[in-house]
A and B are shown apart, each in its own frame.
Chain A
């Protein structure tokens, strides 16, 4: 199993603003000098992971205090120069909000060249609130995504001069992507998702399907992926086609790990700081999906689905005990032995996956604790993860 170090680069600690952290929070709450410091610390942590043999994942979000990285292309451009051996995963580039996928293909190809072929390329549809930060309607965003995906693949793999593209969503007179990517035929593709439709689509394309912080929903999604993969390709999907993202920390003692976990936990609660209208834009989910959410909510509120758990009991990211958080893949923490067991139990519980996307930094944890946790992870957890026997 491979380990990918991810951070959202949140603007934290962040305590003097109580409102929603998406879309409408005024940028006056940010101190540019502190943003610079935060980004420098996150890059430093990533460089440590590069030295320690882990891979690196970056993402992007828009108009939110939780993410100081509005472009994976920018951050990966810097990491491509500064890192030596880590694979660099975009998960991903918010293609739904981009109007020009040709620029995206060109810039990814440049990152692949700069890093001598270390790019893993994920395109994402974005979070529920994200369409508001763009001019692109959430309706039919999936079809638009799929056209952008096909276009970027063709742009990066065509080396015979320009081609034209006259699609429904994108039109180009001459497409000629320079530079061409380092990897042949192109960097590996990824997609994150939270629906069986996304999982099945990824399976048909044989690309890596990742899912984030969704507990035992992963079991349903991975099963759908494996089912579709087997149907379409006539062989079982290898574990390395599947990835799961969790918050994770480790320490020299259980008490120290608990302290670190409690510093990380506010991140999970922060995800709920969203306006009701932003959480459910029309078109983001099919109308039928909103019917049940409206019925279960009160007075027209749309209730978010609860996180499926290993025993069917409710999980509360603020208050559930840490061992329950770990058992459900939301926040793994403990001594290295404990964390190895948590990862192994969870991957077996959800049917196996080959990539652990782990988030050792967010919100209140101190930089030095992140570095310490990364070193322990590299020395005592990662070697044992590599020895996990594939389940499929």
Chain B
């Protein structure tokens, strides 16, 4: 299953920002926040989640075909954007799920206001600083050449290659490649400095009163399992689970285990 970002079918305008999103399934709302590499409708974990949830998955402002307002410069801006999105869509009892960058955004949302959130799921989440000043907590995504991304992001390089359409850019559409390069640019805006965290986030996590599930691939080369355990330890009501045989993207590499963990956590 290729993971390369594809256009999402629905359009919305929130705070004057035009975004694309997808909505599939029925049930309680699940807001999925994607990592740098985006999201699309055919991903198997979404297909599995849609049997239990009304899944809403936007492209963040600046990613995919969603507009980037000039005033946006921090993950904080994305968090406020999603608070407004939940208001505008009048979502209630939301299961808020984020992968990597999406987990960072979800954490920031939940520290600001949980009135529309019932459960928080963080998978390979970035956002906090746990190590000392001479330790790089989050591996530098930008110091990885594109041909090395499958190995960087996945436990199984072959699975990673398949996810990136074998890096066969020659046969991809301009639109697909543009989404890929645009996502990287937006990530460099929100994530260049500091690399992978908001220095204030850790001390705010105590405000998150809803149950949280922290999911981690057992072979995550971007943020190690110990980082995930530290995240779970700071969240007031968190449970930590490892997904075996997975790297940084368990939602792509182990879609069934990923979706089932969410389903059983929210049951």
Contacts and interface: CB of A to CB of B under 8 A. Distances in A.
B146 interface: yes
Contacts of A281: 142, 188
B193 interface: yes
Interface string A122-151: 000000000110011111100000000000
A390 interface: no
B254 to A, nearest CB: 24
Contacts of A287: 178, 181-182, 184-185
A275 interface: yes
Contact of B143 (A135, A277, A283, A300): A277
Nearest to A140: B189
Interface in B144-175: 144-147, 149, 164, 166-170, 172, 174
Interface in B36-86: none
B177 interface: yes
A295 B174 CA distance: 9
Interface residues of B, number: 28
A364 to B, nearest CB: 30
A392 interface: no
A282 B146 contact: no
Interface string A19-58: 0000000000000000000000000000000000000000
A299 interface: yes
Chain A contact residues: over half helix, strand or loop, or mixed? loop
Contacts of B186: 139
Contact of A301 (B143, B146, B181, B185): B146
A139 B182 CA distance: 11
The size class of the interface chain A forms with chain B is 20 to 34
B143 to A, nearest CB: 6
Contacts of A288: 178, 181
B46 to A, nearest CB: 25
Contacts of A302: 146
A282 B177 contact: no
A291 B180 CA distance: 9
A184 to B, nearest CB: 36
Contacts of B189: 137, 139-140, 283
Of A140, A282, A283, A286, most buried by chain B (CB within 10 Å of CB) is A282
A290 interface: yes
B174 to A, nearest CB: 6
Interface in A257-305: 275-278, 281-283, 286-288, 290-291, 294-295, 297, 299-302
Contacts of A136: 192-193
Contact of A282 (B145, B149, B169, B185): B185
B167 A138 contact: no
Contacts of B187: 282
Contact of B142 (A282, A291, A295, A297): A282
Nearest to A296: B170
Contacts of B172: 295
Interface string B179-203: 0111011111100110000000000
A140 B164 CA distance: 27
A295 B149 CA distance: 17
Given A135-B193, A287-B178, A294-B177, A300 B170 contact: no
Contacts of B145: 275-277, 300-301
Nearest to A286: B185
B188 A283 contact: yes
Given A139-B192, A282-B187, A294-B169, A132 B142 contact: yes
Given A139-B188, A290-B177, A301-B147, 6 more contacts: A136-B192, A139-B185, A139-B186, A275-B145, A290-B181, A300-B149
Interface of B: 142-147, 149, 164, 166-170, 172, 174, 177-178, 180-182, 184-189, 192-193
Leading 5 A-B pairs by shortest Cβ distance: A137-B192, A300-B146, A287-B181, A282-B184, A300-B167
12 contacts: A135-B192, A138-B188, A139-B185, A281-B142, A286-B185, A287-B184, A291-B177, A294-B146, A299-B147, A299-B169, A300-B145, A300-B167
